[in-house]
Amino acid sequence: MKKVLVALFSLALVFGLAACGETNKEEQATEKKDVKADIMNFYMDLVAKINDNDADYDAYQAAIGSETPPTGAELTKLATAASDSADKVSQVLADTKVPNLGTYTGKFKDAVKELSDAYAAEAKGLKASPIDTKSADEAMTKASKDLGDVLKDAGLAPSDIMTDTAA
């Protein structure tokens, strides 16, 4: 009788573990779907935060990229406003709390910090005399690429935050 009970309990245990394994796989699949949505929402929020603070920076970029870029006092005025704008973006990014994005949380924290630092470098370069944003531009490009790589790693379309936030 004991052998029969042990066999029945063992069988029940096997079925119970199998059921838990299936539930766990379903939970993991749902978690991945939710994390992708959370990642996309966070990225879009990041774009919105930058866009809310970078109008003067975008105006400067557009002006220096035009057929007749500004010079003299006009350039200085645009650069000063762009520097202030870049400082604001840097601070907003530094204050941004990255939500729990599963295994991507740390990567997003690093990418957002890198982007914040790049905007701070842009602000400093725009205040320099003469204006020198070459290394800051390189840092900005790298930060944007790294952020896009995190999106790609998460199974989403890689994006370029510099393009997404351009006026």
Taking the CB of residue 31, how many other CB atoms lie within 10 A of it? 12
Q: Decide if 5 is inside a domain.
A: no
Q: Decide if 99 is inside a domain.
A: yes
* pLDDT value of position 20: 58
Q: Decide if 29 is inside a domain.
A: no
Which DSSP string corresponds to 117-143?
Answer: HHHHHHHHHHHSSS---HHHHHHHHHH
Q: Decide if 14 is inside a domain.
A: no
Q: Decide if 24 is inside a domain.
A: no
- 94, with CB counted inside 10 A (0-12, 13-18, 19+), is middle
- 122, with CB counted inside 10 A (0-12, 13-18, 19+), is buried
* pLDDT value of position 82: 97
Average pLDDT of the segment spanning 116-127:
97
Average pLDDT of the segment spanning 130-151:
94
Query: How many structural domains compose the chain?
Result: 1
Residue 143 has pLDDT above 80, yes or no: yes
Q: ∠ CA 97-101-102 to the nearest 5 degrees?
A: 135
The residues, any chain, with a CB within 8 Å of residue 68's CB and separated by 6 or more, are none
CB contact at 8 A, 49 and 93: yes
62-115: pLDDT as tens digits: 999 999 999 999 999 999 999 999 999 999 999 999 999 999 999 999 999 999
Q: Decide if 85 is inside a domain.
A: yes
Q: Helices 2-51 and 72-95 meet at what angle, rounded to 10?
A: 160
Q: Decide if 23 is inside a domain.
A: no
Taking the CB of residue 1, how many other CB atoms lie within 10 A of it? 5
Domain that holds residue 160: 34-164
Q: Decide if 59 is inside a domain.
A: yes
Average pLDDT of the segment spanning 122-143:
95
Sign of CA dihedral 97, 103, 106, 112: negative
9-68: pLDDT as tens digits: 444 444 555 555 555 554 444 445 579 999 999 999 999 999 999 999 999 999 999 999
* pLDDT value of position 28: 46
